[in-house]
Every structure is written in structure tokens, then in C-alpha cells.
Structure 1
């Protein structure tokens, strides 16, 4: 019996087996260092783990959010890291392209304290600054300075003279010690998430700049109360521009008159300003508030109509007309209704 040959074969087989196992283990281990998703690093996704959420639920939530592509890989990454029972409740901002081990480490460390801040649609920048000052450690004047100087805020878009209209209205979870620059960059990222390539392609097909779209959207935002009417109101304004008529858009006058919204008088319509659409043709130089997604879509996809006028009915809806005669009649009808309602209130003592 050739013992040397037998021992060689045993040694060779064991070496091959160990090498194979080691190779598989190394491959398996390194697979945890591939990106868990295809999102760009600059894109940060909000992710919240409520207190008491079990691991399997967290795993499913990550998958639903598009933050992981492989639930098993995330499970084994957490298991090998000894973190299966150590993921922390909290609100996270997860950068795109985070690999599995990074994600496990990130979710194993309780995040810094976040403050929930909701920015309603249709606010001007000074109103947004008021809300942010009330919640965060940032003076209003500092915020407004950076809003008027976007390049200094680290927003590299030379087409923007200021961020009016681009502070996207949404609910944000913000670090209480966030800097003004980080804050405005956050708004800017959210705006660009909403204003997608599809929107830009549509704007290009209409030969409109982004600024023109957002400016029109802000006017629509300021007018609309019933959102089914938004595309129709949009069509009125675009039709007026095509016919070289004044827009006569009240939201632009409200923007000129500083402070809270007021009931406009004839004297306000005479204010000398490039934003006065009662005196200047076309769109004003920029947005007059921060519009939401529905207003942006209405600006890009107006209804097909011949309407040139509309008048408020007092219940949030409008009467739309194609000529001045019918428009004036609609105004008279509304004045009669308003007068009758006022008379009845006085009669009943209310």
C-alpha cells in the first residue's frame, strides 16, 4: 500500500475542500459590502423604526422603501454583526448606495434627535422661515439671508436668484441643531425629487423653463381651493398669456403686499412692481409662494379650454367664462348672492 500517495490524496482533498469553503465564505462575506440599493449617494431616504418593531418587520419595511434588494443578505449581515436584536427605534436619513453592513451599523445606533416640521403648501419664504425659527435653532433673518443667496447655501444652480418657490412643502424630520445650509439643501433635494425628469421633459416640450413652470404653479396654488379646478384655472392663465392679456392674478398682488394675506383693494392693483400682473404682461419674474405637486402638475398639464376669465362663487369654486360680457354677468350674479346672504344674516341677527 502506497501510504505517501494516500496521504497526499487526503491532504489534497482537504486542501481543496478548505479552499472551496474559504472561497465561498469570503465571497459570502464580501457580498455584504455591495450596495444594498441602486439609489445615488446624494439621495437620502427617510426611514422610521417605531419602538418595539421586530427585526423581520424592519427588514420588510426596508424592502418596501427600496433600501435593500435582498432581505436574506440583510438578515445574515445583521446576524454576523451580532445586531439581530440590537436595531434601534428612531427616525433615520439613509444615504443611497449604503452597503449591508453599513446599513446594519447605521440602524444599530440611535439617531440624533429629530423634530417633525410640516410646511404647508402655498406659503411665502418669510412664512416658512417663521415656522422653522419656531422649531429650530435658526434665526429667521439668517434663513432669509440664505434663501436670497442660494449659492452661499451650497446650492449650485446659477439660474436661481433666490429660493422663493423652491422650499418644497412637505413634512420633514430635521435635526434640531441642523445648520441653515444643511436645511436649505434638504429642501432643495426634496424639490428635485418631486420635480422629476418627466416634469422637465414636459416643460421642455412646452418650451418652458423650470422657473416659468414653478412661477405659474405658485399662482395656481394661490388661487385654487378645489383641486379639481386646478387644470382649468391653469388653462385660463396660459390662454391669457397666449392672447397677450394681463394675468390679473391676485396671488401676485398678495406677494407684493408684505405681511399676512389681506382683502385686496383697487389701490393695491396700482402698486409699481414687476410682480404686478395687473400692470405687466406675462408671468412675474419668479414664484410668489412654494407650490405643491398638484399645482406643479396643473401648470404643466392645463385643461384644454377657451376660458379667459373666472370669478369666485364664495364656496371655493369658480365660474369660468370665455368673454368679458359673461364674466361681468357672473360677477354681478355673485354680488347679488353675497348681498342676499348678508341681508339674511342681518335679518336673523347673526
Structure 2
């Protein structure tokens, strides 16, 4: 009787073991099948992406002999050129063209009228665009001076274009338009332009240069995009340094605008840049006068003690760190200075006119040196 009971228990144990083994086999099959499906879907997605990009890099019509006349205006950046080529049916995709150009470090595209074929490769198109000639005379040219503010750009538009200052400011403050621009220029326009206390989202982002236009009344939106194209082109040159320094475009343009407003010569800009970084590293306030004036929204030849107390999120005598955004539209020289400051121990600088009436910037390592220098300059003047 006891042996029969033991045999029965043993058989039950084996039965349970077999059941568990069968369950384990079933689970393994389900897992393997699931993994196979995941890899298959992933593989299809990757393969699809690969063939899509591969197709976009190939000629639009490999055997076509037809020619398409394409106009590339002066000042066109890679984004604008890509859009023109895509609309003309010369390339498949403007975005892939832009990244292909950047990946191959191509630049120096020339404005001109080109007879291009849909059968051309991207390399053939790029070669053609680097040998073009200016195709016509501009109807008018718009010069945006280095270091001016968005409000001053608005005044320039009123004087030189069909648009009033109010029309320009309304457009650059149009949230819907700006969000469209963010989609077109994701590498330079980020959510930082809508940070708290920002006065104008596009302040600092409209590159100072001379822009030719080829019709009497070009759309205001296109004029703004032309300036953003140039900003993107200039900033892209410094992508490597920005990545190395973990610096966003917004931070870069904000710092560059301060340097632009405080210095003139390339050498002094890099010294001014070093002062700002040295002060930030030590937790000191930047205390730069142009931020006071920008916060006040007015120009003054001289600031008084009460001015430095002006309550503004831009006033670096009252806030720590950088202001919330750029205070002007900086040049390439200032952008480079903000990324490549001189290695100095300077923590102070002072601008003063010399005997020839030329403004010079004097640098000091300590507050005592700075105050002594200030006293000397006041006495000499």
C-alpha cells in the first residue's frame, strides 16, 4: 500500500514537471516569435528609411535630357537653395540635400542662373552651384548694421523697404509665424526664444549684412527668412565648437550680442569675451552698460547711479548670469569671440577715448587696478 502511494506521488511529480517543461517551451516560442516580429518590423523600418534616403540621393530622372532654368539669389543659404532645387524638380528632398551638403562640408555657393538637369547627381549640382555668376541687378539692397537691435532694424525697414516699422515688428512678434520659422530652422530657433522675459523672440537672430532683393515688393516673410538663412549659415560654421562647449545657439547669440555692444576690434572682442567668462566662472555679475540701456529701451550717452538700479531682467547690474536673450544682432566676429575668448585673468574693462578721439578699451585683473585706471583716465580727460 505504501509503495503504491509513493508511486502515485512520483507519477504526479513527473506529470507536473512535464507540464512546467511544456509551459516553458511555449513561453520560449512566444518570446522568440515576438522578438522575430519586433526585429522584422524594425528591419523593415530601417530598410525603408535606408531606401528612402538612398533614393533621395539619386538623380530625379536618371535618363532625362531636359534642362530647367533655376535662379539662385545672392545671399541664399543652403536651406533656401535646397527648397528652390526641390520646387524646380532638380532634387528629391531639400532637407536631405542640406544634410548632404553639411556632411560633405560644402560651401561657397554662388548666386546665378543655372541650366540644370533632373538627371544630375547631387555632386554635379553642387559643383555647378559653386561656379555661378550673378544673374541680374538687385532692385534694392537692405543693409542691416552690426550690433543694432530689432527695433532699429524695424526703422531700417521703414526707410528702405515698402514695409513700415510697425508692420515689421508685428510680423517678428507673430507667434504663429515664428512657430512656422521654428519648423524651417530647427537648428537655430528653439523654445529658448520664448523664454520668460524675452522682449523679442527673434532679437539677435537676424544676421547683420547687406541683402539684395530682386523685386520691388518682396514678401516680408521671405525677407526675414533670407536673414535667417544667413544666420543659419554663419552659426553652422561653429557647430563643432558649440558641441564641444555644450553651448546652445541662444546662449551663443546672447553672449555674442554683449560682446558686440562692448567692443569694436577683433582683438578687444576676444579680451572682452574673456572678461565675461572669467566673471561668470567666479559668480560675479557681468555689469555691462548696454544691458542697462536695452532694459530701459532708450539710448543715453551717459549712465548715472540711478540708471544702474533700473529694474529689468536684462540689467546685468541687477541679475546674475546672462540676460534672458540677445540685446542686439551680433556679427560673425563677435560670435567667434564668444567661442574663442583669449585666455586672460582680466575681470574688468573700461572704454575711454584717446587723444585722437578713438575709443580704446582698457583691461584690469583686479578691482583696485580698475579703479586706479579709471581715476587716471578721468584726470587725463
The TM tier, using the shorter chain, reads 0.5 to 0.7
Map of 2:162 onto structure 1: 137
Q: What SS is found at the alignment partner of 1:42?
A: helix
Cα pair distance change 1:138/1:247, threshold 3 Å:
same
Map of 2:234 onto structure 1: 194
1:179 aligns with 2:179: no
Number of residue pairs matched by the alignment: 264
Map of 1:149 onto structure 2: 174
Map of 2:242 onto structure 1: 203
Map of 2:379 onto structure 1: 336
Deviation at 1:135, TM superposition (A): 1.3
Question: Which of 139, 142, 152 lines up with 1:117 in the alignment?
Answer: 142
Structure 1: distance between partners of 2:375 and 2:82: 53
Of 205-214 and 237-246, more deviation after overlay is shown by 205-214
TM-score, scaled to structure 2: 0.62
Structure 2: distance between partners of 1:142 and 1:308: 42
Map of 2:65 onto structure 1: 30
Of 113-122 and 281-290, more deviation after overlay is shown by 113-122
1:301 aligns with 2:368: no
Q: Which runs of 5+ in 1 are unaligned?
A: 1-26, 46-63, 78-95, 339-350
Map of 2:99 onto structure 1: none
Q: Which runs of 5+ in 2 are unaligned?
A: 1-61, 84-106, 118-123, 183-188, 195-200
Which stretches of structure 1, 4 residues or more, deviate above 2 A after TM superposition?
31-37, 39-45, 64-68, 96-100, 148-151, 157-161, 259-262
Deviation at 1:260, TM superposition (A): 3.5
Greater CA radius of gyration, 1 or 2?
Answer: 2
- The root-mean-square deviation of aligned C-alpha atoms, in Å, is 3.6
What aligned pairs does 1:84-123 form with structure 2 within 5 A after superposition?
114-123=139-148
Q: What SS is found at the alignment partner of 2:252?
A: helix
Structure 2: distance between partners of 1:187 and 1:130: 16
1:220 aligns with 2:245: no
- Listed one character per residue, the Cα deviations across residues 122-180 of structure 1 (whole Å, up to 9, x for unaligned) are 00001011011111111211211222236415312342331100111000112331222
Structure 2: distance between partners of 1:271 and 1:326: 27
What aligned pairs does 1:270-289 form with structure 2 within 5 A after superposition?
270-289=309-328
Structure 1: distance between partners of 2:329 and 2:170: 17
- Listed one character per residue, the Cα deviations across residues 20-66 of structure 1 (whole Å, up to 9, x for unaligned) are xxxxxxx99728569999x9562389xxxxxxxxxxxxxxxxxx964
Structure 2: distance between partners of 1:285 and 1:143: 22
